[in-house]
A and B are shown apart, each in its own frame.
Chain A
Amino acid sequence: MTLKDGKTGMTLRVDSIGESGLKERLMTMGMLPGTKIKVLRSAPLGDPIAIGLRSYNLAIRRKDAEQIQVTAI
């Protein structure tokens, strides 16, 4: 599954991040393969979503979240 399909409250582990302009920025901000992330909530119209990782929160659009392969844990 990808992060796009993550439901609020789920804890996920990142498997890989697809090649895109965002990949290096995401990695710099601590999202690496193996990193645990939690889906916190989505904005009123369902997009973007807020996720928690490495003790901080980040907002990301679903379109970009689709690039992130995850496994539910």
Chain B
Amino acid sequence: MSGSLSVALTGNPNTGKSTIFNELTGARQKIGNWPGVTVDKKVGYVRHNDKDIMIVDLPGTYSVNARSPEERIVIDYLMENHTDLVVDVVDSSNIERNLFLTLQLLEKGIPLIIDLNMQDEAKKRGIKIDVKKLEKFLGFPVLLTVARDGSSLKNMLNVFTSISMEGYGPSEKLQDHIAKAKEIESTVTDEKARQEQLIELRYAFIDEILRESVTFSHVGTTTSEKIDHVLANGILAIPAFLLIMYAVFQITFEWIGQPIADFVDELVNDQFLGWASETLADAGVADWMQSLVCDGIIGGVGSVITFVPLIFILFFCLSFLDGTGYMARVAFIMDPIMRRCGLTGKGVMPLMMGFGCGVPSIMGARALDTEKDRMLSIMAAPFLTCGAKLPIMALFAAMFFPDDAANVVFAMYVVGVVMAIVSTKLLSHTTFKDDNSTFLLELPPYRMPDMKTVLLETWDKGKGYLVKAGTIIFLGCVILWFLSAFNSEGMVEDLNDSFLASIGSVIGSLFVFQGFGNWEAGAAVLSGVLAKESVVSTIGILYGMPDISAEAEDAVETAEAMLGTGMGSAFTPLSAIAFMVFSQLYTPCVTALGTIKKEAGGFKWMVFAAVYMFVLAWVVSLLVYQIGSLLGF
């Protein structure tokens, strides 16, 4: 036997469907977008018993009423593409509600393999399903799996390659049910009443299935209930949440992420840079080439590469927490607070990612329920202190407030969060008014996350950062280097004669009232639109410290060196604060802008975000400087 086979996976959210998909296909998957919508399209490949199997992981949905883009994708895909097999993944511990989708699909005439997943959990909860009876009741094949157990998945692949769906068809009982559903569809004209009658019919049939083939034995309080009693109950839930988030940030910025980042920094900025500059010198290349490669490209791209470990560790922690089911609890406990800020509890997870990088944070808004929630979350994310803004804050704080550096950096995080809230309030009363926000969220049982799934998700969210380093930042570094090394007459000796100085002084003049109207700051602001990582390296180059470290950890050392340059006199402590506030809030980097265009659905939102955030930052930094001056700082 050889050949190829196509399989579609469908099912409710939280059924372990993605775990099955990831365990079956591993790294051999492609994640793209369904045409026209911002919903992930996941396709994976596996070879088994001489067959090439293509598996499509359809979005998890509770029904296929085509009310949401996800539901439309599922039903359109299944009706239009005649995949060889359609697997309906059912959470056995929650079989009642899961069978709703099963019935809906069977009514549409889609032959299913019903996979009763999470067998281990069902057992723990005292739920026993008689497979033979269920098969007979519906007339379609039923499989048992435990997603993390390799042998049950191997069995699943065996079934894929050997089963013939020809031998299956709706049982008499199911045919009766389908006939009744057809009758409702053809006789009840009111859309609402029709849907409600259909839903009632399906649940009545599900009750019949349960009576026939499932036994529930009472078990005491489940472990999840016990954990929720602490983590999602009463006033204790909030300190518990803060403690967990504190641990995530410690792991990222102190315990694990930063040491790896330091190691990478050493590797790139010392060893590789040294090697490259020697090699180029030995090869006898021109000075400008040497300068382009070492100062421009390696300096710029290198400073981004050193952030990669931080970003990946943060996303790993958040994906892990998401896999345990805790993130649903976070949405639950934070909803009242988020709602007062104009957002929703479900927005916590995407916004948390904003402290790593705005791009996945903006993309994470996909998971929210309403258009209004999505737009507000997209527009709030760029205000947060992403990994690339941190070094700006760290450098300025260490230079101008050596005794209070940590507090000043923390204050900038607060400024970001407060402005995200203020802006959300503002937008929800002006731009995104009419839309009723609702909140309906399943709280799945706590589970040990599947490591493969966590790692694949981490990679999926973090890889954009690597791509960015290789494309936009690479390009930006080359452009910036060119602008700083040339003017209309050729290569310049003195930076003050360069293109960059001319452009920077135009931009800088916008910030006279903020106290940083010099051309160097103007050029740094410009480079920050390419990538926020470039702000510190631009400042370094312009003030004659080309090998400035972009790492927060080295800020103190760098600050001491920088104070000896012109930078020490170019800023006062107050104008430094104004610059930090401005950097925190202004126009997101081009990668984030591109993501906004894609996720918010249009060029106009991208331009809106760019202009709106620039103006807001300009006004706030102006207020900071002017009020600060009046108060005599």
B-contacting residues of A (Cβ < 8 Å)? 21-30, 32, 40-41, 43-48, 50, 54-61, 64
A28 / chain B contacts, CB cutoff of 8 Å: 62-63, 65, 100, 199
B235 / chain A contacts, CB cutoff of 8 Å: 44
B187-200 contact mask (Cβ, 8 Å, vs A): 1 or 0? 00000100110011
A48 and B335 contacting across the interface, CB-CB below 8 Å: yes
Known A28-B199, A57-B444; further 16 A-B contacts with Cβ < 8 A: A24-B196, A24-B199, A29-B440, A30-B96, A30-B203, A32-B199, A44-B236, A44-B336, A48-B336, A50-B443, A54-B97, A56-B442, A59-B442, A61-B335, A64-B438, A64-B440
Number of A-B contacts (CB under 8 A): 108
B443 and A57 contacting across the interface, CB-CB below 8 Å: yes
Tell me which of B96, B125, B443 contacts A59 (CB under 8 A).
B443
Tell me which of A32, A45, A55, A61 contacts B438 (CB under 8 A).
A61
How many whole Å from A25's CB to the nearest CB in chain B? 6
A57 / chain B contacts, CB cutoff of 8 Å: 442-444
B441 and A41 contacting across the interface, CB-CB below 8 Å: no
A48 and B96 contacting across the interface, CB-CB below 8 Å: no
A27 and B443 contacting across the interface, CB-CB below 8 Å: no
A43 and B442 contacting across the interface, CB-CB below 8 Å: no
A46 / chain B contacts, CB cutoff of 8 Å: 336
In the complex, A53→B228 CA distance in Å? 16
A22 / chain B contacts, CB cutoff of 8 Å: 438, 440
A64 / chain B contacts, CB cutoff of 8 Å: 438-440
Tell me which of A25, A27, A47 contacts B335 (CB under 8 A).
A47
B332 / chain A contacts, CB cutoff of 8 Å: 43, 48, 50, 59
Q: A54-B96, A56-B94 given as contacts; is B441 within 8 A of A44 (CB)?
A: no
Nearest opposing residue in chain A for B442, CB measure: A58
A58 and B96 contacting across the interface, CB-CB below 8 Å: no
In the complex, A31→B216 CA distance in Å? 19
B440 and A26 contacting across the interface, CB-CB below 8 Å: yes
B335 / chain A contacts, CB cutoff of 8 Å: 43, 47-48, 59, 61
Q: A24-B65, A24-B196, A28-B62 given as contacts; is B439 within 8 A of A41 (CB)?
A: no
How many whole Å from B107's CB to the nearest CB in chain A? 14
How many whole Å from A4's CB to the nearest CB in chain B? 14
How many whole Å from A40's CB to the nearest CB in chain B? 8
Nearest opposing residue in chain B for A49, CB measure: B332
Tell me which of B203, B236, B439 contacts A48 (CB under 8 A).
B439
Tell me which of B95, B195, B232 contacts A41 (CB under 8 A).
B232
A sample of 10 inter-chain contacts (CB < 8 A) reads A28-B100, A28-B199, A40-B228, A41-B233, A43-B232, A46-B336, A50-B443, A55-B93, A56-B444, A64-B440
Residues of B221-237 at the interface with A, using a CB-CB cut-off of 8 Å, are 225, 228-229, 232-237
B439 / chain A contacts, CB cutoff of 8 Å: 48, 59-61, 64
Residues of B119-161 at the interface with A, using a CB-CB cut-off of 8 Å, are 125, 127
How many whole Å from A62's CB to the nearest CB in chain B? 10
In the complex, A41→B63 CA distance in Å? 27
B195 / chain A contacts, CB cutoff of 8 Å: 24
How many whole Å from A52's CB to the nearest CB in chain B? 9
Taking the complex as formed, is B2 at the interface, i.e. its CB lies under 8 A from any CB of chain A?
no
A-contacting residues of B (Cβ < 8 Å)? 62-63, 65, 67, 93-97, 100, 125, 127, 192, 195-196, 199-200, 203, 216, 225, 228-229, 232-238, 328, 331-333, 335-337, 345, 436, 438-444
Nearest opposing residue in chain A for B437, CB measure: A61
B127 and A55 contacting across the interface, CB-CB below 8 Å: yes
How many whole Å from A49's CB to the nearest CB in chain B? 9
B96 / chain A contacts, CB cutoff of 8 Å: 30, 54-55
Which residue, B65, B93, B203, has most C-beta atoms of chain A within 10 A? B203
In the complex, A61→B235 CA distance in Å? 18
B200 / chain A contacts, CB cutoff of 8 Å: 27, 32
In the complex, A71→B238 CA distance in Å? 32
B331 / chain A contacts, CB cutoff of 8 Å: 59
Nearest opposing residue in chain A for B104, CB measure: A28
How many whole Å from B38's CB to the nearest CB in chain A? 21
In the complex, A12→B236 CA distance in Å? 27
How many whole Å from A67's CB to the nearest CB in chain B? 11
In the complex, A56→B443 CA distance in Å? 8
B333 / chain A contacts, CB cutoff of 8 Å: 43-44
How many whole Å from A72's CB to the nearest CB in chain B? 21
How many whole Å from B184's CB to the nearest CB in chain A? 14
In the complex, A16→B583 CA distance in Å? 53
A27 and B94 contacting across the interface, CB-CB below 8 Å: no
Nearest opposing residue in chain A for B196, CB measure: A27
B199 / chain A contacts, CB cutoff of 8 Å: 24, 27-28, 32
How many whole Å from A10's CB to the nearest CB in chain B? 16
Nearest opposing residue in chain A for B68, CB measure: A25
In the complex, A47→B336 CA distance in Å? 6
A43 and B100 contacting across the interface, CB-CB below 8 Å: no
B337 / chain A contacts, CB cutoff of 8 Å: 45
B441 / chain A contacts, CB cutoff of 8 Å: 58-59
B97 and A25 contacting across the interface, CB-CB below 8 Å: no
In the complex, A25→B436 CA distance in Å? 15
Nearest opposing residue in chain A for B92, CB measure: A55
How many whole Å from B283's CB to the nearest CB in chain A? 64
A59 / chain B contacts, CB cutoff of 8 Å: 328, 331-332, 335, 439-443
A50 / chain B contacts, CB cutoff of 8 Å: 228, 232, 332, 443
How many whole Å from A19's CB to the nearest CB in chain B? 8
How many whole Å from A8's CB to the nearest CB in chain B? 9
Q: A57-B443, A58-B443 given as contacts; is B203 within 8 A of A44 (CB)?
A: no
B345 / chain A contacts, CB cutoff of 8 Å: 48
A55 and B94 contacting across the interface, CB-CB below 8 Å: yes
Ranked nearest first, the 4 interchain pairs of A and B with the lowest CB-CB distance are A45-B336, A57-B443, A54-B96, A59-B441
How many whole Å from A45's CB to the nearest CB in chain B? 4
Q: A44-B234, A61-B335 given as contacts; is B438 within 8 A of A30 (CB)?
A: no
How many whole Å from B106's CB to the nearest CB in chain A? 16
B233 / chain A contacts, CB cutoff of 8 Å: 41
In the complex, A40→B337 CA distance in Å? 20
A56 / chain B contacts, CB cutoff of 8 Å: 94, 97, 442-444
B436 / chain A contacts, CB cutoff of 8 Å: 21
